[in-house]
Amino acid sequence: MEYCIGGDLSHFLRKKRALPELVVRRFLQQIALAIHFLWSNNVAHMDLKPQNILLTSSENPILKIADFGFAKHMLEGTEMHSLRGSLLYMAPEILCKRKYDSRVDLWSIGVIFYECLFGQAPFASRSFTELEEKITDSWPIALPYGVEVSDNCRDLLLSLLKRDPDKRIKFTEFFCHPFIDLVHAPSSESLEKAAKCISTAVTEDKAGNVPTALEHYSDALEHFVAAVHYERDFTKKRALQAKVQTYFNRAEELKQTLKPKSSPNQKTLQRSTSCSAAETSSLKPLDELMILCTSEKDLLNSVQQLKQADNEVKSENYKAALSLYEGSLEVLLKMLKSEPKGKRKELLHQEAYKALDKAEEIKRYQSVPKLTQNDIPTLDEESEMTNFICSCQHGPSISVETDSQKR
């Protein structure tokens, strides 16, 4: 038996209703860790709901899943046919098809997730009849109008709340989802993982392997952020945050070296015509190419796209630039095959391969993990979240601690 002084999640939600996304993410990571343990041992809970999720304390609580009365050992492919669970959190296939499997737990997690974010379950109703109608309805779940959540949060929530279990997110996808990110979930191992990643990052940094160094710096920073969240002592938190800021600054310096550069002033070329020297004009290669392509509309449009892409790079609109480069290259590379030898083919070849290099630069830059200054928790934010949780506590509870809860 374990004494859970923080009460259960339903009391917590009744106190505060909607929770900040940061708190919800922290709670959902803990639920996911427990469910991962159950899933790894082929166990489905079958009755996940806020009343069965307990909080260990009033400050920085750990969530505990309780009440395994409906739990079932289920191998892959095993199906159930009897009604079980609580209607408000029950997956539609249980009521509608009377044929279901362990994926019902994913639906229930989605309902809890929704309730934590918006203050009520998606099928909240005034009567049993109304509730039954909502469960058996075929309309997809929609988020409340006017409530802002992050893209990762929205994606996971809607993926969990798919009425058709075959379209619902899979357990493996759930555990790996960016919003859950169990690899970087706060734990006693977070600091050790961060130290290993930093060691590799510094080695790669010294060797001049910028992309690899950045990858490891980013991984380390995420583990450091998790370590800050896990640490209870504010003095240690402050020391960790200083480290996070130092490595974040270095990662930003390296990232700037990968930033796509706008084209330097190109060396002007003389137009190769039989005109007199007085009639010869000096042009940049891309401008000269446009003049040589005026008789062919598709080719001219593609060359103009290259110039537009260069301008987007100057404005740091890399997504738009990449789209323009790729669209232009699709046409240019095909036309190069049939283009006769001459000045135009020479310039087409030069600009096409220059665009290929720029497109690769942009892709390399975009592949760098995007950890921003806002991702680094401050002591004020940590204190604010702790105070928020403390203000929501309600009454003690007792739970039977299973092996999964000791994880």
Question: Does 158 share its domain with 289?
Answer: no
The CATH number assigned to the domain holding 88 equals: 1.10.510.10
Query: Measured between alpha carbons, how far is residue 260 from residues 208, 313, 319, 332 in Å?
Result: 18, 7, 12, 22
CA distance 325 to 315: 15
Q: Which one of 210, 226, 258 terminates a domain? A: 258
Specify the pLDDT at position 296: 85
CB atoms within 10 A of CB 310: 18
Question: Does 168 share its domain with 47?
Answer: yes
CA distance 142 to 325: 37
Let me know how many helices (H) and strands (E) the chain has, helices first: 16, 8
217 in a structural domain: yes
Q: What is the DSSP letter of 341?
A: S
Tokens of 403: 């092996």
User: Could you tell me the residue range of the domain that residue 96 belongs to?
Assistant: 2-183+381-406
- 47 as an active site residue: the answer is yes
Question: Does 248 share its domain with 208?
Answer: yes
Which residue in 8, 47, 205, 310 is the catalytic one?
A: 47
- Is 180 in contact with 24 (CB distance < 8 Å)? no
Question: Does 301 share its domain with 360?
Answer: yes
Q: Which one of 258, 285, 300 terminates a domain? A: 258
CB atoms within 10 A of CB 303: 26
Question: Does 354 share its domain with 397?
Answer: no
Question: Does 66 share its domain with 93?
Answer: yes
237 in a structural domain: yes
Question: Does 360 share its domain with 393?
Answer: no
Query: What is the pTM assigned to this prediction?
Result: 0.67
- What is the count of structural domains for the chain? 3
Question: Does 251 share its domain with 123?
Answer: no
Question: Does 163 share its domain with 201?
Answer: no
Specify the pLDDT at position 179: 93
Question: Does 157 share its domain with 294?
Answer: no
Ranges in the chain, pLDDT < 50: 265-281, 379-380, 393-407
Per-residue pLDDT of 231-265, as tens digits, reads: 888 888 888 888 888 988 898 888 888 888 766 54
263 in a structural domain: no
Question: Does 155 share its domain with 13?
Answer: yes
- The residues, any chain, with a CB within 8 Å of residue 46's CB and separated by 6 or more, are 70, 71, 72, 80, 84, 85, 104, 105
The CATH number assigned to the domain holding 209 equals: 1.20.58.80
Question: Does 11 share its domain with 119?
Answer: yes
Specify the pLDDT at position 402: 39
Rg (CA), the chain: 29
75 in a structural domain: yes
45 in a structural domain: yes
